[in-house]
Structure formats: C-alpha cells, structure tokens
Amino acid sequence: MADTENLAAGRSFHADVAQRHEPFRLRGCGSLDWGMQSRLARIFRPETGRTVMLAIDHGYFLGPITGLERVDLSIVPLLPHADALMTTRGMIRSTIPPASRTPVVLRASGGPSILKELSDEQIAVSMEDAARINAAAVAVQVFIGGEHETQSVRNMTRLVDQGQRYGIPVLAVTAVGKELTRDARYLRLATRICAELGAHFVKTYYCEQDFATVAAACPVPLVMAGGKQLPELDALTMAYNAVEAGAAGVDMGRNIFQSDTPLAMIQAISAVVHESMKPAEAYEQYVRPAAQRAAAGQEGK
C-alpha cells in the first residue's frame, strides 16, 4: 500500500513566478522534438554548443587502416575525451564497452569497398537497430556530384524520415570524390542540400578560402571533417580556424588516432574547440610534452 503519511498540501507553488523555459540553443534545432534535442545535447556540449567527435568508422569501406588495427587498445582509452564516437554497429557490439558514457554516432550507410565505386551506397542499418544500440545519431554519406548522387540523397532522406519517427538525429556526411574540388562553392552546395533535405547536422571538409560562408549558409550545426593526417600543429590550426569561422566542432579521425600521441592530440583538439585555445598553445600544453615522453620511451604518452 502506498505511504499516505506526511502528505501535507504543497506550499511551494510560486504562483507569481512564470514557468521557466530554457530555449534549445543549438543552431536551427529549436523546433525539434524533445528526444531529438536531448540526443543532440549529448553530442554537442550545451555549455559551448560545440563537439569533438572521434571518427573511427573508416573500416566500413577501408578495412583495418593504420591506427584502427586494434580498436580495443588504441581507441577505447580515448573515449572519455571524446564528446561522441562515430563508428559502426559491428565495432560497437564487438569492442566498445557499453558502460562508456560517450554517445555513439552510428554509421548507417555502406556497401561498396575502396575497390569499387564508393558513391554506390545503401542504407546499412535500420533505425530500430540504432535505437536498440542507444545511438545518439546516425550518419549517412551523401555524394553530391558523385555517380550515385540521387541514391545517396535518397538514403539520407529515408533515414531522416525514420529518424523523425524515432527521435534520432541524422548526420549527413558530405563525401567529396577525387574529381571534385573542395572549395567553398562546392561545400556550400553540398552542405546546403543536406540541410534543406532534412539532415539535423552536417559534416564537411574545411577549405582555406571562405569557409565562413559555408558555415553561414548551413542552417544546422556544421562539423568539420579531419581528412588525411597532417602535422599536429597544422591539424590543430585547421580545427581552430573552422570553429572560429562558425563550425560547431569537429569530427576527426586520422589526425587523432594516427598521431604519435593520440591521447594528447584529442585533448589538444578539445581545448581548441571548447576553450578556443590558440593552436600553438594547445600544441605546447598537450602534444609536445607527450611527444617528448614518448621519445624518452616513457609510459602514458
């Protein structure tokens, strides 16, 4: 039987105080459903509106590339420093500890390997399975200008429809084929198409010229892709320039896990993204000391 003692009438109604309402501040996401906003707030830190996503989904078309041979050894220790982990359901179920507090952005498209035409992707995960995995979002590749452009856009719009039903946001990843130029004009086209057709956030490459116009023209959060490995200071500078130009964070892979000092590198990226720390300062504070310890053969690089 329910406890019925001490049920005095409440007195703290504050009838003269208007109900508090905290607006959801993430760009373009104020009208989304509560579950969708809640998931996005797990990926984008509410205090900065930015994210450091760690991308390790490369194996879905590239196999075990350098740095991802043993995800249990190389990536799991980095998880506490990532705001989100972008990976595949196979890697999640086989290797990522369910007790990890790091939200998952689940790779949801796939099909062709690096040996075939990459734009020929299909949806590779059901939204039901994404919910079962407790994904904070799903990610789909969109090949604007690619051979299978329409099919990849259709993959995205189908996932958006399903995501709306389940409250799971969709990240559109703009994939730039070798034949296309990664300039602001192309990136504006690709990111805007994804946002217009319903992507809840968009991932794209950085360009030196006019990246701010790419960010400005995308009405939902834009995260910068890392790309091939650069010297650490250059990668930090690229991340800094992207967020200062309006990106809501980064989704970086090789520049973190292929670094000689991955733990220091993700910490440095996080300082740049969330604290607007200058790249040289982040390098000196995190990367150089770790590189020196590694060179001296000490543990805990």
CB of 172 to ligand R5P, least distance (A): 11
Choice between 61 and 286, CB closer to ligand R5P: 61
Closest CB to ligand R5P: residue number: 226
Choice between 105 and 184, CB closer to ligand R5P: 105
CB of 252 to ligand R5P, least distance (A): 4
CB of 84 to ligand R5P, least distance (A): 12
Q: Is 156 within 8 Å of 172 (Cβ atoms)?
A: yes
Choice between 16 and 79, CB closer to ligand R5P: 79
203 is catalytic: yes
| Annotated catalytic residue within 203, 228, 278, 301 | 203
Choice between 3 and 56, CB closer to ligand R5P: 56
CB of 60 to ligand R5P, least distance (A): 8
Which residues are near ligand R5P by CB under 6 A? Answer: 55, 57-58, 173, 175, 225-227, 252-255
Which residues are the active-site residues? 203
